[in-house]
Amino acid sequence: MRTILAFNGSPRKKENTSTLLQSALDGAASVGAKTRLVHLYSLNYKGCISCYQCKRISGKSLGKCAVKDDLSPIFEAVEQADAVLFGSPIYFGNITGEMRSFLERLLYPHHVYDKNRTSLFKKRISTGFIYTMAVTEDRMNELHYQQNLQGMESFIDHILGDIRIMNACDMLHTDDYSIMEASAFDIEAKQRRHEEIFPLERQKAFELGKSLVA
C-alpha cells in the first residue's frame, strides 16, 4: 500500500487549504493509498538553527536534522512515504512562516554543497503543493507570486521528487465580511465564486491526490 502525507501550513484546520488537502487525500485513498494529514500549527518547532550537524561528513546526524522536537517523527514518516503534499495560504506573496520553517528543517539536511548539489534523500517521491490565496489569478500574476514561490519549489523538486502545483485563487477570507474592512474586494463576487468554483477546485485537488500515488 502506498502512503501519502499532507502538510497543512495554515493556522486554520477546517478552511480553504485544509479542505483542499483533504480532498487530495480522499483522491489518493480512492486508489488504495494510506493517507495522513498533519496540521503544522499544532506542532511545536522552529526553523533551522544553522548548527550544521546535518552537514558533518563523519557525524551521526549527516543528512538528518539533529534538533529533537515535534518534527523528528514527522521526518521519519516522510522518509517512509511514497508521496508528500504541501498546502499553504499565501501571506504577503509567499507561504506562511510555519510552512517555511518546516521546509527549511525538512529539506536542508538532505542538501549537499558539492558541485552537483546532491540530494541525500534516499529515494525519489511524488510531491505536490496547493496554494490558496485571496487575490485573483490576474492579480497573482501582476504581483509575481509564482516567481516568489519558484525557489522553494525548485528545492522540493530537486531534493525530494517531481513537484506538481495547484493554485486556488480568489478565496474567501471569512464567512462574515462584516467583521473587517474589505472594500478592496467584490465580496458578492467572491461569495458566488466560492459557491460555484470551489467544488470544482476540490475535484481538481482530488485528482491531484490520485495522480501523486498512481
Please give the tally of structural domains in the chain. 1
pLDDT score for 134: 93
pTM score of the predicted model: 0.95
pLDDT score for 150: 95
The radius of gyration computed from the CA coordinates of the chain, to the nearest angstrom, equals 18
Query: CA-CA distance, 10 to 134, in Å (whole number)?
Result: 14
SS3 7: strand
pLDDT score for 143: 92
Single-letter code of the amino acid located at 23: S
Question: Above pLDDT 70, what percent of the chain?
Answer: 100
Please report the sign of the dihedral spanned by the C-alpha atoms of residue 5, residue 10, residue 14, residue 15.
negative
Helix (H) or strand (E) holding 79: helix 72-80
Question: Domain holding 111: CATH number?
Answer: 3.40.50.360
pLDDT score for 175: 86
Contact indicator for 108, 54 with CB cutoff of 8 Å: yes
Query: CA-CA distance, 107 to 123, in Å (whole number)?
Result: 13
Which domain, by its residues, includes 35?
3-213
What average pLDDT does the segment 99-123 reach? Answer: 95
Of the candidates 68, 82, 59, the residue with the CA atom closest to the CA atom of residue 3: 82
Query: CA-CA distance, 66 to 22, in Å (whole number)?
Result: 31
pLDDT score for 18: 98
* pLDDT tens per residue across span 10-44: 999 999 999 999 999 999 999 999 999 999 999 99
Average pLDDT, the chain: 95
- 170: which DSSP letter? S
pLDDT score for 58: 87
* pLDDT tens per residue across span 55-64: 999 889 999 9
- DSSP letter string over 87-151? EEE-BTTB--HHHHHHHHHHHGGGB--STT--B--SS--EEEEEEE-SS-HHHHHHTTHHHHHHH
CA distances 38 to 23, 107, 145, Å, are 14, 17, 25
Q: Which of 85-94, 148-157, 177-186, 195-204 has the lowest mean pLDDT?
A: 177-186
What average pLDDT does the segment 140-149 reach? Answer: 94
Single-letter code of the amino acid located at 167: N
pLDDT score for 192: 93
